[in-house]
Amino acid sequence: MKTVVISGGNDGIGRGLALARLARGDQVVVLGRGADKGRRFLAEAEARGARDRAHFVAADLSLVSENRRVVEELTGSFPALDALVLCARFFRSARFETAEGYESTFALEYLSRYVLSHGLTGALEKSESPVVVNVSGPGIPKPAIRWDDPHFRTGYSGIAAQRHAGTANDLLGVAYAARHGEGRTRYVLVNPGSTATSFAGEYDPVTKSQVEAIRRMGKPVEQAVAPIAEVIDAPPAEPLSAFAEGRRIGVDDPRLFDREAAARLAEFTERLLAR
C-alpha cells in the first residue's frame, strides 16, 4: 500500500487519480480548499469501502503559511510518503493578490508546489521509491521568468500568468533534481494535454466560452490519469523526467529546461520565502 498525497485532488485529474489509487488499495490524502468537496471525497471513499484509507486536509494552498502547515501536519501524521502529486490550479481573468501579497497564480501554481515539494522531501525519502509528480505543462515553449515583476503588477492576463507559472514549474523540476538528485525521490513533470476537467477559476465571458470549448473537446480524465499512475507505480530512474500526453520527452533542451535560470529561480524563491 502506497501513501499518495494529491493537491487539488477534489476535482479533475487529481480527483480521478485519488479514486483510482483508492481502488488500487492505496492510502490517499487529498489537499483542497473546498470542505464540501472534501466531504464528498470521503463519502465516495466510504461507498467504495475505503474510508479508512482516505484523508482530506482543507487548505488554501495559495497561502505559503497554509502550505507550511500542511507540510507539518503530513510529516507528523504519516511515517513516510510514496508520492506527492501536484494538481491544484485556479485560473483568474482578473489579477488577484493573496493576503500575503503574492499574485495568486504565482502563489498557488508555483510557490505552493515549491514549498510542498521541498518540504515533504524528508517524508518521501523514507519510502522505497518515492516520486513527486508535478502536473503542469512541460514540453511547450513558454515565456522567460519575469525577474523584475513575477507578481504581474503590470501586464497581467490570466493566460500570461498561467504560462509564467508553467515556466516556473519546469525550472522547479530542474532545480529540485539538482538539489535532491543524490536522494531517492524522483521528480516528474507531466503535461496531461487537453482534458475535460472542472477548469477551476473565475473567467471573463470570452475566456469562459473558450474554456468550455476546450472542455468539450478534451480527453476523459481517466486517460490523463493513466500515465501519472504508471509513474507512481514505477518512477523513472533519472532524478528528473518529463512526459507530455503519455510520451517521454527530453529534459536537456536549455530553451525549455534552463539550468542557470532554474538555480536563479530557486535562490530567488528562497529569498522570497524567507521574508
Ligand X SMILES: NC(=O)c1ccc[n+]([C@@H]2O[C@H](COP(=O)([O-])OP(=O)(O)OC[C@H]3O[C@@H](n4cnc5c(N)ncnc54)[C@H](OP(=O)(O)O)[C@@H]3O)[C@@H](O)[C@H]2O)c1
Rg (CA), the chain: 17
Asked if 189 and 173 count as a contact pair (C-beta separation under 8 A), the reply is yes
Smaller CB separation from ligand X, 65 or 194: 194
C-beta nearest to ligand X: residue: 12
Pick the closer one to ligand X by CB: 129 or 198: 198
CB 244 within 8 A of CB 138: yes
Q: How far apart are CA 54 and CA 81, in angstroms?
A: 14
Q: Is the CB of 8 or the CB of 130 nearer to ligand X?
A: 8
Residue 17 Cα distances to 14, 41, 163, 242, angstroms: 5, 12, 24, 18
214, three cell numbers: 476546450
- Contacts with ligand X by CB under 6 A: the residue count is 30
Pick one of 2, 6, 12, 41: the residue that binds ligand X (CB under 6 A).
12
Q: Is 32 in the site for ligand X (CB under 6 A)?
A: yes
Does position 200 interact with ligand X (CB under 6 A)? The reply is yes
Spatial contact of 87 and 15, defined as CB atoms under 8 Å apart: no
- 13 touches ligand X (CB under 6 A): yes
Scan residues 112-131 and list those touching ligand X (CB under 6 A): none
Footprint on residues 39-98 left by ligand X (CB under 6 A):
60-62, 87-90
Least distance to ligand X, CB of residue 232, Å: 15
- DSSP3 helix / strand / coil % (the chain, rounded to 5): 45, 15, 35
Give whichever of 1 and 140 is closer to ligand X, judged by the CB atom.
140
199 interacts with ligand X by CB under 6 A: yes
Measured distance CA(75)–CA(95) in Å, rounded:
33
Using rule CB under 6 A, residue 110 touches ligand X: no
Name residues contacting ligand X, limited to 203-242 (CB under 6 A). Answer: 218
Binding window for ligand X (CB under 6 A); candidates: 172-180, 189-197, 243-251, 260-268 = 189-197
Shortest distance (Å) from residue 10 CB to ligand X: 4
Shortest spacing between CB 193 and ligand X, in angstroms: 6
Asked if 116 contacts 67 with a C-beta cutoff of 8 angstroms, the reply is yes
Residue 34 or 183: the one with the smaller Cβ distance to ligand X is 34
Q: How near is the Cβ of 192 to ligand X at its closest, in Å?
A: 5
Q: Which residues of 127-164 are buried (b: 16+ CB within 10 A; e: fewer)?
A: bebbbbbbbbbbbeebeebbeeebbbeeebebeebbbb
Instruction: Dig out the grid coordinates for 87 from the structure.
Output: 494538481
The C-alpha atoms of residue 213 and residue 144 are separated, in whole angstroms, by 28
CB of 128 to ligand X, least distance (A): 26
Tell me the residue length of the chain: 275
User: Per CB under 6 A, does 172 bind ligand X?
Assistant: no
Applying CB under 6 A, the residues found at the interface with ligand X are: 8, 10-14, 32-34, 37, 60-62, 87-90, 108, 135-137, 191-192, 194-195, 197-200, 218
